[in-house]
Amino acid sequence: MRKRIIAGNWKMYKTMEEAKQFVTEVNERLPQSEQVDAVVCPPSLYLAALQSMTEGRSLQIGAQTMHDVAEGAFTGEVSPKMLSALHIPYVILGHSERRQYFNETDETVNKKVLAAFANQLTPIVCVGESLAEREAEKTVETVALQVQKAFEGVTAEQAKNAIIAYEPIWAIGTGKTATAEDANIVCEAIRVEIDHLYDEQTAAAIRIQYGGSVKPGNLGELLSMEHIDGALVGGASLEADSFVKMIEVASHA
Ligand SMILES: O=C(CO)COP(=O)(O)O
């Protein structure tokens, strides 16, 4: 059985004080759950502070993005080496907002995925189709190609530990969730693609999250699906209360 993973993507929200308040509250309330990985990904400015607040706690901290090289003249960027030195376990890569607003492509996502593994970071690789692609019935084709490109040069051993987040772009921040059945169909197609690229064991081991308007009220149904192992959550991860509720739902689902 794959361990569930609920990851909050805070995007560009919260001041440092609000971020610390959230972590203090979640540290107090989070059930010591062995069954669920509970992660929040704050703006990079807060990573060091929140990482030290969560040492020895259930809550884990992830980054929202990173560059692919260890160091260099790249103003404003954060490197894999820097994240690794802070012992940050996870990094979100290729989020659709990064692809849309910051020129990330399948090629740059692939470089970052390779850099994550080279630096002991677990990548949360985001894939997902646009509304136009869904309407043209190109969902599976689009997502399979994104997976194929993101995993170029990644070994089976590495892929087994990776996380893929399936986030249909039309469901992000819109209140529109894919039905659990539709999300499961795409997550299954992703697993089949991993089987083609690697083997059955790798496909069985890799964890696949759904993302897009997930909240405490719809998480249980999504997690009841065979191929959905967790969620990547935006808006509903910003309040400690709803974040803790989602961890509770995932612990019992
Ligand atoms: O983009 C997302 C998580 O990465 C989803 O955001 P929402 O949960 O706010 O729709």
Report pLDDT digits (tens) over 227-240. 999 999 999 999 99
Q: Give 93's strand partners.
A: 125
Calculate the alpha carbon distances from 61 to 6, 35, 122, 126, 127 in Å. 12, 17, 12, 17, 21
What pLDDT sits at residue 44? Answer: 98
CB of 128 closer than 8 Å to CB of 166: yes
d(CA 22, CA 38): 13
- On the question of pLDDT at 31 being above 80, the answer is no
What does residue 41 show for φ and ψ, rounded to 5 degrees?
Answer: -115, 95
Report pLDDT digits (tens) over 126-144. 999 999 999 999 999 999 9
Q: Which atom of ligand 1 approaches the CA of 92 most closely?
A: 4
Query: Which of 214, 239, 242, 243 maximizes ligand 1 atoms within 8 Å of its Cβ, making it the mutation to test the pocket?
Result: 214
Indicate the DSSP class of residue 214.
Answer: -
d(CA 39, CA 233): 10
Of 97, 133, 167, 193, catalytic? 167
DSSP assignment of 5-40? EEEEE-TT---HHHHHHHHHHHHHH----SSEEEEE
Instruction: Establish whether residue 246 lines the binding site of ligand 1, counting it when its CB lies within 6 angstroms of any ligand atom.
Output: no
Query: Which of 233, 237, 238, 242 maximizes ligand 1 atoms within 8 Å of its Cβ, making it the mutation to test the pocket?
Result: 233
CB of 147 closer than 8 Å to CB of 106: no
Q: Is 11 annotated as ligand-binding?
A: yes
Q: What is the CA radius of gyration of the chain?
A: 17
Of 95, 104, 133, 193, catalytic? 95
What does residue 84 show for φ and ψ, rounded to 5 degrees?
Answer: -65, -40
167 is catalytic: yes
Nearest by Cα to 214 from 186, 250, 182, 172: 172
Dig out the tokens for 219 from the structure.
């998480």
Q: What's the pLDDT band for 173 if we cut at 50, 70, 90?
A: confident
Q: Which atom of ligand 1 approaches the CA of 173 most closely?
A: 10
Q: Which of 43-57, 75-89, 171-185 has the lowest mean pLDDT?
A: 171-185
What pLDDT sits at residue 253? Answer: 80
The residues near 100 (Cβ < 8 Å, ≥ 6 apart) are none
What is the average pLDDT value for the chain, to the nearest integer? 96
What pLDDT sits at residue 32? Answer: 76
Q: Which atom of ligand 1 approaches the CA of 97 most closely?
A: 1
